[in-house]
Amino acid sequence: MELHPVILFDGDCRFCHRAVQFVLKRDRAGVFRFAALDSAYGQAQLAAHGLADPRPDSLVLIEDDSAFIESEGALRIARRLGGGWRWLSGLILLPRVLRDPVYRWIARNRFRWFGKADRCSVPDPAFIDRFLDQ
């Protein structure tokens, strides 16, 4: 069992990098840990949760020995951020059949809108201990 929930993110995606930065700024208690989907740690977690093939698109939350993908993962992250973001997690009450198509649409278009990262970004030294694939 993980002591901290882990966010696996697409290391090639600028939108995903921005999302990680967004969470880092708002996760003042330091709850979340991070790893790229393509890292050894990320690949091991995907395999352990039966998600290695096909690999999920853009984000996976590993929490309490379970993996959450698409809108479920994103809304669970929002719930843990607290403040006004906690209210956003109320959307989890909507059926996945309504939530997930919106998530998939964003995931499908993220490279077109935000581009691919030219190189892997280096975490801010203040947060380096929260990245599990360094």
H or E element in which residue 33 lies: strand 33-36
CA distances from 117 to 15, 71, 75, 129 (A): 9, 23, 25, 22
DSSP letter, residue 36:
E
The pTM assigned to this predicted structure is 0.86
Domain ranges of the chain: 6-123
Low pLDDT (below 50) residues in the chain = 1
Tell me the per-residue pLDDT of 69-94, one tens digit each, with 9 for 90 and over: 998 999 999 999 978 888 888 888 88
